[in-house]
Amino acid sequence: MSKDIILKCTNLNKEFAKKNKKKNLKALKDINLEVYEDEILGLVGESGCGKSTLAKTIMQLIEPDSGEIIYKGKNIVGMKSEEKRKLKKDMQYVFQDPKAALNYRKKVGWLLEEPLKVHTKLNKKQRLKRVKEMLDLVGLSHDYIDRHPYGLSGGQAQRIAILCALINNPSFVIADEAVSALDVSIQAQILNFLQCLKEEMNLTMIFITHDLSVCHYMSDRIAVMYSGRIVEIGDANTIYENPKHPYTQELFQSILTIHSKMTDFKTNLIEKFTCGHGGCEYAPNCPYKTNRCKIEEPKEYETKDGSKVRCFLYESK
């Protein structure tokens, strides 16, 4: 790919201590990821696979246990507070629940103006002009300046939350399940809105979702996560039309087959969490598993179409 790399994660690991448990929860396991300038990278996987943990680690809301996060050529892990504050102008996060992310006590005008106060030297008149320009951009009237978040619909609140993230013209944005709580019609509006903003503002974005159809619609490339690892990454159309990792295949079968049966799900789930093997995490549920899969963790293999897959099936391809 000819575009420059804006963000690179190298061997990221993160563990969380579990109460009354001897073993820690390994949320991120040797994550290696590159995000290219002006692209939307879709990050997809089931709930609990580590998507939000990875996002918050990239945004330095959580410190990794090991590894590097290189943003525009600089390692941002372990940055001092003042350096992080400056970085926030260029890196922004859109949270899953917009109404929980917005301060109910403050009016929309205050919420949009506050980032400008913190990160710019604009005066009051200039800040108000910028706020009105952003409201125009999302099709909301200037009357919203005097409204509170509790008086907004889900779609309106999500637009305001997105504007709060974008008002300082960041280069990089993570949208974490930004449409999952919205009605389908509102989802379509927000998705189209994000696509337009990406073009108008030259945004680079990681778009996190568990909805494969939405991920395919939004993304230039897709990364699939399972149990703290990225098991497959490649061009969005390639992965959508020809998923390679057995877990990715199962994900797509779940949306393509309306009456699919989850046979032996309970048995596989119990085996998954009790087998304690050091091999591939997906082995207990994989129809192609071998004894090797149960004891050895597969490396990342590159396929002929440019995808990268963590599966022994592609070791010699």
What CATH number did the domain enclosing 309 receive? 3.40.50.300
Query: pLDDT band at residue 81, thresholds of 50, 70 and 90?
Result: confident
Q: 80 Cβ partners below 8 Å, 6+ apart?
A: none
Question: pTM for the complete prediction?
Answer: 0.86
CB 13 within 8 A of CB 191: no
Domain count, the chain: 1
Whether residue 244 lies inside any domain: the answer is: yes
- Which of the 8 DSSP states describes residue 116? H
Q: Which of 105-119, 136-150, 186-200 has the lowest mean pLDDT?
A: 186-200
pLDDT of residue 36: 95
- CA–CA gap between residue 175 and residue 95 (Å, rounded): 7
List, for residues 229-280, the tens digit of each pLDDT value.
999 999 999 998 999 999 999 888 876 544 444 444 333 433 343 344 578 9
Across the range 202-222, mean pLDDT stands at: 89
Domain assignment of residue 223, yes or no: yes
* Structural domain includes residue 155: no
Domain assignment of residue 300, yes or no: yes
Burial category of 281 from C-beta neighbours within 10 Å (exposed 0-12, middle 13-18, buried 19 and up): buried
What region, left, alpha or beta, does residue 242 occupy, with left being phi > 0 and alpha being psi -120 to 50 degrees? beta
Domain assignment present for 157: no
Q: Which residue has the higher pLDDT, 197 or 26?
A: 26
Domain assignment of residue 50, yes or no: yes
Q: Is residue 99 part of a domain?
A: no
C-alpha 158, offset from chain centre: 16
Full residue range of the structural domain in which residue 85 is found: 5-90+170-314
Residue-averaged pLDDT of the chain:
85
Q: Map 20-72 to HEC letters.
A: CCCCCEEEEEEEEEEEECCCEEEEECCCCCCHHHHHHHHCCCCCCCEEEEEEC
Kindly report the number of other CB atoms within 10 A of residue 11's CB atom: 13
- What pLDDT score does 71 carry? 94
Residue 163 in domain:
no
∠ CA 152-211-60, rounded to 5°: 75
